[in-house]
Amino acid sequence: MHGLMMDFPLTIPRMVLPRAEGLFAARPVDSQVGERLHRSTWGAVADRARRLGGALAELGIGPGDRVATFAWNSYRHLEAYLAVPSMGAVLHTLNVRLFPDQVAYIVAHAQDRVVLVDRSLLTAWRAVEPRLTIEHPTVIVMEDDPDGSLDGGALAYEPTIGAAEPLAWPELDERTAAAMCYTSGTTGDPKGVVYSHRSTVLHSLAVGLADGLGLSASDRVLVVVPMFHANAWGLPYAAALVGASLILPGRDLSPAALCGLIERERPTFAAGVPTIWLGILEHYRIHRPDLSSLRTTVVGGSAVAPALMAAFEDELGVPILHAWGMTETSPIGSTAHLPAELGRNSDPLVRRSYLCSQGRAVSGVEMELLDGAGQPVPHDGEAMGEICVRGPWIASQYYGDDQPGEKFAGGWLHTGDVATIDLYGYVRITDRTKDLVKSGGEWISSVELEGLLMSHPDVLEAAVIAVPDQRWTERPLACVVPRPHAQDRLRAEDLIEYLRPQVARWWLPDGVVFIDAVPKTSVGKFDKKVLRARFPAMPAGARSSVSPQQRAQG
Ligand code: AMP
């Protein structure tokens, strides 16, 4: 017997857009565009999205065609977020920080037919074009000055949508592709993840859950995470669904610019990678901007160092919500709210250890730890395994692959993240499989060492990498950025002594090198591959005074 409820499609034009243009039409959508703040509303954005749909249809874009964006976070980018999927085409967000060759590979692989380019990124796009192996996509320039002249047959966004008839959205099957995003791909070619309408709508509902990200109609969201990466953690669609107001910061993500926006525009909710918040914390300590409007900030994409969590809570009074996910998981997979099981009077250290964990799988995501043989590992908070996930917003395979492949074996997404899960279901990532330091048959967590090093008052950033070692296979090398005031006084020995009471002796790094900055990936994560290339062996001067043999006895 079937249930007798309506078979209502879980699509963006039926579930998300009507709320943005109806109930929440007056809610503000404000964007920093160069020097000025552009004020708009969900109603105006939805209205212009229909015109953009009309313009794209006139250019011959039809169901399934890929329309790319090469843009910062702004209202025009948001219009594309709504228009492209709603007309049955596929929104392909391109990472503007990749090298031209990488962008060209991705555009050709996805067979993009149109690309919407921010005026400030036009030169960067022009560097991609000669490398393309497909017919060049039609360029629509999202211009800041409508009178500026455009070269090379590009169309200007405003006159193009101004002249177009608003499009009536077609009926879509909820399994239709809505958007695609290529993984940042630290190894091999980038892989395309294709989100459906159904996955996007369900993910947006989860973002609104109290134990998801808890986004609501009372929120004003500062979306620092780029709209070119994993749909900005699903925030634009979730905000339209729940009626949250948006602040889109444009290209300047410097601490000064972001703090200025927070002071003037009073967001209640923000989201970004740890590097962003680390920069804001440093800025706050000197300039004391008023950040009191923030009720929370979501931090994810890399592990939150306990020191960052503590500083935000104790100094700024802004609690961090730690979230874990991947491009392949839409991206929200787990969130670290405190477990009710702890009760009211728990030890602050235990409390913080939960807040700094990767949290519990959100409703809709099933999570398992599997060992190398594909067998489940006990959830005892000790045994380590690879995080494997499945659910309605988890990728089942990559775009263009005939078969799901190893990564999706057994109907699970094998994430490459190694973790423990405790009795309450809280995940603690110990490392990426490729970043673990494999020493003498045991694993050393680079993430844990980094967290400890970054809690030292003289350390700004720290990345720990494995370097080959004849006897132990690999040994850890700590690459440390001192705080400006500590440049001259911080010594490797101090750091080793600082770590000594906190980790097993054989975990102590064999060496410490001081560097100017930890290299970052295009989405602001520590880029350890660059450090591994820079330090292929333990640098002679970096050796710490305790020998590995001594440590092995510890
Ligand atoms: P991407 O698909 O580029 O967003 O990268 C996803 C990867 O980022 C995950 O597989 C993790 O290794 C890492 N990651 C994301 N969120 C976290 C987090 N909260 N803690 C630790 N690592 C994270």
Q: Helical H runs in 272-320?
A: 274-287, 306-311
529 catalytic per annotation: no
- Give tens-digit pLDDT for 369-427: 998 788 999 999 999 899 999 999 999 999 999 999 999 999 999 999 999 999 999 99
Grade residue 552 by pLDDT with cuts at 50, 70 and 90. Answer: very low
443 catalytic per annotation: yes
Distance CA 288, CA 296 (A): 18
Nearest alpha carbon to residue 87 among 61, 69, 122 = 61
Distance CA 222, CA 220 (A): 7
Q: Contact 409/374 with Cβ under 8 angstroms?
A: yes
Q: Does the pLDDT value for residue 121 go beyond 90?
A: yes
Which residue among 326, 327, 525 is best mutated to probe the pocket of ligand 1, counting the most ligand atoms within 8 A of its Cβ? 326
Return the residue matching tokens 């963006």: 12
The residue whose C-alpha atom lies closest to atom 6 belonging to ligand 1 is: 326
Environment class of residue 166 by beta-carbon count within 10 Å: exposed (0-12), middle (13-18) or buried (19+)?
Answer: middle
Q: What is the DSSP string of 475-528?
A: EEEEEEEE-GGGTTT--HHHHHHHHGGGS-GGGS-SEEEE-S---B-TTS-B-H
SS3 538: coil
Q: In this predicted structure, what is the pLDDT of residue 154? A: 93
Distance CA 161, CA 174 (A): 27
The residue whose C-alpha atom lies closest to atom 20 belonging to ligand 1 is: 303
- Give tens-digit pLDDT for 341-355: 888 767 888 999 999
- Give tens-digit pLDDT for 463-475: 999 999 988 889 9
Among 79, 143, 174, 328, the one annotated catalytic: 328
SS3 161: helix
Distance of CA 370 to the CA centre of its chain: 24
Q: In this predicted structure, what is the pLDDT of residue 394? A: 98
The average confidence (pLDDT) of the chain is 93
Grade residue 185 by pLDDT with cuts at 50, 70 and 90. Answer: low
Q: Which residues line ligand 1 (CB under 6 A)?
A: 183-184, 230, 300-303, 322-327, 331, 358, 415-417, 429, 432, 523
Grade residue 490 by pLDDT with cuts at 50, 70 and 90. Answer: very high
Distance CA 380, CA 366 (A): 17
Which residue among 324, 389, 415, 435 is best mutated to probe the pocket of ligand 1, counting the most ligand atoms within 8 A of its Cβ? 324
Q: Which long-range contacts (CB under 8 A, 24 or more apart) does 378-383 make?
A: 379/421, 379/422, 379/423, 379/425, 380/420, 380/422, 380/423, 381/420, 381/421, 381/422, 381/423, 381/426, 381/428, 382/420, 383/420
- Tell me the average pLDDT across 248-271: 98
72 catalytic per annotation: no
Grade residue 487 by pLDDT with cuts at 50, 70 and 90. Answer: confident
Span from the CA of 294 to the centroid of ligand 1 (angstroms): 24
Q: In this predicted structure, what is the pLDDT of residue 433? A: 80
Nearest alpha carbon to residue 297 among 241, 203, 213 = 213
Q: Contact 193/81 with Cβ under 8 angstroms?
A: no
- Tell me the average pLDDT across 12-32: 98
Return the residue matching tokens 């393309």: 132
The residue whose C-alpha atom lies closest to atom 9 belonging to ligand 1 is: 326
Note the pTM of the prediction, 2 decimals. 0.89
Which residue among 297, 429, 447, 529 is best mutated to probe the pocket of ligand 1, counting the most ligand atoms within 8 A of its Cβ? 429
Q: In this predicted structure, what is the pLDDT of residue 342? A: 87
Structure tokens at 173: 């099957």
Grade residue 428 by pLDDT with cuts at 50, 70 and 90. Answer: very high
- Tell me the average pLDDT across 435-439: 88
Among 313, 407, 443, 473, the one annotated catalytic: 443
Alpha-carbon separation of residue 191 from 350, 395, 397 (angstroms): 38, 11, 10
Which residue among 298, 321, 415, 417 is best mutated to probe the pocket of ligand 1, counting the most ligand atoms within 8 A of its Cβ? 417
Q: In this predicted structure, what is the pLDDT of residue 145? A: 67
Alpha-carbon separation of residue 22 from 13, 279, 537 (angstroms): 12, 38, 61
Q: In this predicted structure, what is the pLDDT of residue 346? A: 76
Span from the CA of 323 to the centroid of ligand 1 (angstroms): 9
- Give tens-digit pLDDT for 187-217: 578 999 999 999 999 999 999 999 999 999 9
Q: What is the DSSP string of 259-275?
A: HHHHHHH--SEEEE-HH
- Please name every residue paired with 520 in a beta bridge, in sequence order, or none if there are none: 526
Span from the CA of 302 to the centroid of ligand 1 (angstroms): 5
Q: Contact 250/74 with Cβ under 8 angstroms?
A: yes
Among 407, 438, 520, 529, the one annotated catalytic: 438
Percent of the chain exceeding pLDDT 70 equals 96
- Please name every residue paired with 420 in a beta bridge, in sequence order, or none if there are none: 428
Nearest alpha carbon to residue 37 among 254, 248, 270, 294 = 248
Among 69, 93, 138, 183, the one annotated catalytic: 183
Ligand 1 atom closest to the Cα of residue 447 is 21
Grade residue 149 by pLDDT with cuts at 50, 70 and 90. Answer: low
| From 51-55, 149-153, 474-478, 482-486, the region with the lowest mean pLDDT | 149-153
Q: Does the pLDDT value for residue 547 go beyond 80?
A: no
Residue 460 identity (one-letter amino acid): L
- Tell me the average pLDDT across 168-186: 91
**Contacts of residue 464, Cβ cutoff 8 Å, sequence gap at least 6:** 437, 446, 449, 450, 453, 476, 477, 478, 479, 509
Distance CA 68, CA 181 (A): 10
Q: In this predicted structure, what is the pLDDT of residue 495? A: 96
Q: Contact 89/44 with Cβ under 8 angstroms?
A: no
Q: Does the pLDDT value for residue 186 go beyond 70?
A: no
Nearest alpha carbon to residue 264 among 284, 290, 239, 286 = 290
Ligand 1 atom closest to the Cα of residue 184 is 3
| From 107-121, 181-195, 504-518, the region with the lowest mean pLDDT | 181-195
Q: Does the pLDDT value for residue 15 go beyond 80?
A: yes
Grade residue 146 by pLDDT with cuts at 50, 70 and 90. Answer: low
Q: In this predicted structure, what is the pLDDT of residue 513? A: 95
Percent of the chain exceeding pLDDT 90 equals 83
Alpha-carbon separation of residue 175 from 117, 197, 438 (angstroms): 28, 6, 42
Ligand 1 atom closest to the Cα of residue 416 is 10
Report the helix count and the strand count for the chain, using DSSP H and E. Answer: 17, 25
The residue length of the chain stands at 554
Distance of CA 450 to the CA centre of its chain: 20
Nearest alpha carbon to residue 159 among 146, 150, 149, 168 = 146
- Tell me the average pLDDT across 516-535: 91
Span from the CA of 194 to the centroid of ligand 1 (angstroms): 18
Buried b (16+ CB within 10 A) or exposed e, 315-348: ebebebbbbbbbbbbbbbbbbbbebeeeeeeeee
- Give tens-digit pLDDT for 281-330: 999 999 999 999 999 999 999 999 999 999 999 999 999 999 999 999 99
Q: Is the peptide bond preceding residue 331 cis, with omega within 30 degrees of 0?
A: yes
SS3 394: coil
